[in-house]
Structure 1
Amino acid sequence: MIAVIQRVGKSQVSIDGEVVGRVDKGLNVLLGVGHEDTAEDVQWLANKIVNMRIFGDEEDKMNLSIKDVGGDILLISQFTLHASTKKGNRPSYIDAAKPDRAIPLYEQMKDTLEELLGRKVETGEFGADMQVEIMNDGPVTILVDTKNKR
């Protein structure tokens, strides 16, 4: 499971011109589910996301988590995070999970984040053609791959 975690001043996702998910201060999380990912990966990554200290404290040092600052999360599925570009110029997505496996893990991630955060997590729509607007704050962008836990 791969996540691109971005600290944002605001972020929103639209489908056919209609905003379906929006946050102000918080995190925009792009999530790619791989065919080998498990519920254990969801739990590990969700804990990492809500406890990652990437928000400034009173001395403007990155010491606070999304929970500490009362921020929100916008979670968006993105299978293209599993693109392999080793051969040729057309990426291969062979490592991305098929929808029958990816959707339950994506939904489990949403539910787990909500449980850990204590409030609703905004989302896009799995498999939809989405337009994402991100006002990255910092900029702070962090890539986390559950295959690199140790």
Structure 2
Amino acid sequence: MKVIVQRVRSASLLVNEKPAGNIGRGLVVLAGFCKGDGHADVDYISRKILKLRIFPDDNNRMNKNVLDIQGDILIVPQFTLYGNCNSGNRPDFTEAMVPEEAQGMFVSFEMALRALFPGNLVTGEFGAQMLVNIANDGPVTVMLESHRRATK
């Protein structure tokens, strides 16, 4: 599982040209799933997102997480995160999980976050045409990959 996490001042989402939600200060998370991903990946990434200290403290150091600031989260399915352009100019998506399975994983990801996160959580719609308007803050953008997690 791979996610792009962006610190934002605000964001809004249109799904199939219709308003689907908006958030204030918080995180926009683009989530992609690859073959072999499972619930352990979803659990790891969900917890990591909530603990990610990318918001400034009183000394302007990145020391606070989305829970500390009582922020919001917008999650968007993004299979193109597994597009490989190493050979040619058209992305190859053979690493991406098949859509039927990826949709279930996205639902699991949403449920895992809802179980852990008490704040405003807005979700995109798997397979739909979406327009995401983002006011990046910083900008601060971080990529997390469950397959690269540290083992202790």
TM-score class, shorter-chain normalisation, is over 0.9
Unaligned runs of 5+ in 1: none
Aligned residue in 1 for 2:28: 28
Residues matched between the structures, number = 150
Deviation sequence 1:13-35 (CA, Å, 0-9, x none): 11233211211100000000112
Is the 1:35–1:95 Cα contact (8 Å) retained in structure 2?
yes
Report SS of the residue matched to 2:127: coil
Q: What amino acid is aligned across from residue 34 of structure 2 in structure 1?
A: G
Counterparts of 2:119 and 2:107 in 1: how far apart (Å)? Answer: 15
What is the 5 A alignment of 1:95-134?
95-134=95-134
The amino acid across from 1:95 in the alignment is: E
* TM-score of the aligned structures, taking structure 1 as reference length: 0.96
Q: How does 1:125-144 map to 2 (within 5 A)?
A: 125-144=125-144
Matched residues, percent identical? 36
Contact 1:35–1:101, Cα closer than 8 Å, also in 2:
no
SS, match of residue 128 in structure 2:
coil
Q: TM-score, normalised by structure 2?
A: 0.95
Report the more deviating stretch, 65-74 or 99-108. 99-108
Find the aligned partners of 1:106 and 1:120 in 2 and give their Cα distance. 17
8 Å Cα contact 2:25/2:72 also seen in 1 = yes
Which shows bigger deviation, 119-128 or 102-111?
Answer: 119-128
| Root mean square deviation of aligned Cα | 1.0
* Partner SS, residue 67 of structure 1: coil
The answer for unaligned runs of 5 or more in structure 2 is none
Is 2:9 the partner of 1:9? yes
Q: Which moved more, 1:136-145 or 1:96-105?
A: 96-105
Report the Cα distance in structure 1 between the residues aligned to 2:107 and 2:16, rounded to whole angstroms. Answer: 22
What is the CA distance between 1:39 and its match in structure 2? 0.1
The residue type equivalent to 1:111 in the other structure is M
Instruction: Give the distance between the partners of 1:86 and 1:3, measured in 2 at CA.
Output: 20
Match of 2:63 in 1: 63
Instruction: Tell me, yes or no, if the aligned pair for 1:82 and 1:95 is still in contact at 8 Å.
Output: yes
SS of residue paired to 1:127: coil
Structure 1 counterpart of 2:54, which letter? I
The amino acid across from 1:6 in the alignment is Q
Q: Aligned residue for 1:19?
A: 19
The Cα offsets for residues 111-150 of structure 1, whole Å up to 9 and x where unpaired, read as: 1111111244201110111111111101000011111102
